[in-house]
Amino acid sequence: FDNYYVGGIGSVRGFDNGSLGPQDNNGYALGGTRKAVASTELLFPFPGMRDNKSVRMSVFADAGTVWGDDSVPTSASQAFRYSTGLALTWLSPVGPMKFSYAMPMHKKEGDKIQRLQFQLGTVF
């Protein structure tokens, strides 16, 4: 629990939660002592609901990696995972909801892909 984990709707969408970076022999993520994450998102009104402020869409691009002291990435193009996609945010009566559909653009063998992701209860 002391390590950083990358992947999922809070970091690099399109990959399973906490699945990126060094793995053990069984394919489970070990996390790392360092991480780098970048995200950009362009928000716009949901088509046909321009006056409704509780629903909006976005296009996004995410990138991230995690590593440990003994596994410093040799190059950014090899270490980073990238994804892009669409997201829908709704400030519902039960709390904020976010749905994301992502396409991983740079992935490695063994990465766990999760194209459709859902989040409930986080401030956007």
The pTM (predicted TM-score) of the whole model is 0.82
| Structure confidence by residue, pLDDT tens digits, 42-92 | 999 988 888 888 899 999 999 999 887 666 555 555 678 999 999 999 998
Q: Determine whether 99 is exposed, middle or buried from the number of CB atoms within 10 Å of its CB (0-12, 13-18, 19+).
A: middle
Count, residues in the chain? 124
DSSP 108: -
